[in-house]
């Protein structure tokens, strides 16, 4: 096990610690060694608490297990307050900033026996301006954002779990770009106290992991939601293929990945049909940005008023656009969102899951952008849970993701159905060589 300790999933590591086959100190040391070897190239970490995390691990090794992830290290996006290490939001305004208390989510992880390994790099104030973090699958490409460091650190096996946040697409998109599991729970599932806000009505704490079991255990620790019984057999789900009106904005590889997944899931027994979003939900593609900009401008009003010169031109443009949105426009957009949530709840009475793209394509070349949140923003504004699963690769060999979406507050059911889907897709992948996998299906060809 010693040469591959850093590659263990969170749940595998926790089981080994409970069984006495591994210590938290050994696991943390292996992760720190991986960071030392790789982070000079990838720049996933804003702060690594090497000595403190080893001390935490030694103390935990002397204690009974506090929870199912006892002794497991976790990366924390650097917009979560941490009392024992800097919290800088990737902004020159907050260099050396040390909060007095941990964020609620950080406290809950510590109480459950997790080791806070350090702070992962975020885009400036979890907004648009890209950080220096690189994609571990190909460092010439972006890892996505704004939870850039969390996605990259988990993908490169520097840490088995990491926290992120999503206001538009900042968990699902980087998870897809880096080829890991990304979970955006239902809005409000995880308490946001101590997290630097962007948008009061959109900000959602999410998770990065390499297995769905890890994501489910971490969500349970942080939210109290039950963990699915992944060992039990569940009925094949009813799946709606939601291409949306923006289908043509996704690239050919994404089209092929989604249609292939739909075919394979249907072959595994799922009831797969086309699903059209209701009119109000389709309007959320535009409403989400208006709401986010309006709220971000106010959330960062102090920084813009007092330190405008220290804010990137990229973010200043968003903030200025936010101030240009009238209250009437904002209220109308929020009413559209309320209408859409009612209509979407009606739609989901006929489905257990929707299948939709995680992103427009694979990670773009270069670090000038973190990519486009087009295929994430509707689900964020609806407040519904979603998960990104790795699904093949694009023309440059970088990961693609498929996104599974469920009804509001159905997070546990989503994870159970996602495990069914992941297992079905894996079985299909073993039966076929890449050249033999089901090909592209024209839009509308899935049974209705």
Out of 9, 170, 209, 406, the active site residue is 170
Examine the residue annotation and report whether 146 is marked as an active-site residue of this protein.
yes
* Number of residues in the chain: 448
What is the full per-residue pLDDT of the chain (448 aa) written as tens digits?
A: 455 999 999 999 999 999 999 999 999 999 999 999 999 999 999 999 999 999 999 999 999 999 999 999 999 999 999 999 999 999 999 999 999 999 999 999 999 999 999 999 999 999 999 999 999 999 999 999 999 999 999 999 999 999 999 999 999 999 999 999 999 999 999 999 999 999 999 999 999 999 999 999 999 999 999 999 999 999 999 999 999 999 999 999 999 999 999 999 999 999 999 999 999 999 999 999 999 999 999 999 999 999 999 999 999 999 999 999 999 999 999 999 999 999 999 999 999 999 999 999 999 999 999 999 999 999 999 999 999 999 999 999 999 999 999 999 999 999 999 999 999 999 987 765 433 333 322 333 333 2
Examine the residue annotation and report whether 196 is marked as an active-site residue of this protein.
no
Full strand arrangement of the beta sheet holding 386-393: 45-48, 115-120, 73-77, 161-166, 204-209, 181-184, 386-393, 399-405, 353-357, 238-241, 271-274
Q: What is the pTM of this model?
A: 0.95
pLDDT for 432 equals 53
Examine the residue annotation and report whether 369 is marked as an active-site residue of this protein.
no
Out of 24, 77, 186, 220, the active site residue is 77
Q: Where exactly are the structural domains of the chain?
A: 2-223, 238-281+336-436, 284-335
Out of 11, 53, 91, 146, the active site residue is 146
pLDDT for 2 equals 53
| Burial letters 320-337, b for 16+ CB under 10 A, else e | ebbeebeeeebeebbebb
What is the dihedral angle through the alpha carbons of 89, 90, 92, 96, rounded to the nearest 10 degrees? 60
Fold for the domain defined by 2-223 = Amidase signature (AS) enzymes (3.90.1300)
């Amino acid at each position: 096990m010693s040469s591959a300790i850093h590659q263990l999933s969170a749940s595998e590591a926790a089981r080994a610690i409970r069984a006495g086959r591994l210590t938290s100190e050994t696991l943390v040391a292996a992760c720190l060694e991986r960071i030392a070897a790789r982070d000079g190239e990838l720049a996933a970490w804003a702060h690594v608490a090497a000595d403190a995390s080893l001390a935490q691990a030694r103390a935990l090794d002397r204690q009974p297990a506090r929870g199912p992830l006892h002794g497991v290290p976790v990366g924390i996006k650097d917009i979560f307050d941490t009392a024992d290490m800097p919290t800088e939001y990737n902004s020159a305004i907050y260099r050396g900033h040390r909060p007095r208390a941990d964020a609620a989510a950080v406290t809950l992880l510590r109480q459950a026996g997790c080791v806070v390994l350090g702070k992962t790099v975020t885009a400036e104030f979890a907004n648009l301006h890209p950080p220096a973090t690189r994609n571990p699958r190909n460092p010439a490409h972006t890892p996505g954002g704004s939870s850039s460091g969390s996605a990259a650190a988990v993908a490169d096996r520097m840490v088995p779990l990491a926290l992120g946040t999503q206001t538009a697409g900042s968990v699902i998109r980087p998870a897809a770009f880096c080829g890991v599991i990304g979970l955006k729970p239902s809005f409000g599932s995880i308490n946001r106290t101590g997290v630097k806000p962007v948008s009061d009505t959109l900000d959602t704490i999410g998770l990065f992991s390499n297995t769905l079991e890890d994501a489910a255990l971490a969500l349970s620790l942080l939210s109290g939601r039950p963990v699915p019984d992944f060992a039990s057999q569940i009925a094949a789900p009813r799946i709606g293929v939601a291409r949306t009106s923006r289908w043509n904005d996704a690239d050919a590889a994404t089209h092929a990945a989604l249609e292939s997944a739909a075919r394979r899931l249907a072959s595994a027994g799922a009831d797969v049909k086309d699903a059209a979003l209701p009119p109000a939900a389709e309007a959320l593609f535009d409403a989400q940005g208006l709401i986010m900009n309006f709220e971000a401008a106010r959330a960062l009003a102090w920084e813009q008023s007092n330190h405008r010169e220290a804010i990137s031109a990229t973010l200043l443009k968003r903030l200025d656009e936010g101030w240009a949105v009238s209250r009437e426009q904002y209220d109308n957009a929020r009413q559209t969102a309320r209408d859409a949530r009612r209509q979407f709840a009606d739609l989901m009475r006929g489905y257990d899951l929707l299948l939709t793209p995680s992103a427009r394509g694979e990670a773009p070349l270069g670090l000038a952008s973190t990519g486009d949140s087009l295929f994430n923003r509707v689900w964020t504004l609806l407040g519904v849970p979603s998960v990104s699963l790795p699904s093949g690769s694009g023309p440059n060999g970088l990961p693609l993701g498929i996104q599974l979406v469920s009804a509001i507050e159905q997070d546990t059911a989503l994870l159970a159905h996602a495990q069914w889907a992941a297992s079905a897709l894996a079985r299909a992948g073993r039966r076929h060589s890449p050249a033999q996998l089901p090909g592209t299906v024209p839009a509308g060809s899935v049974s209705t």
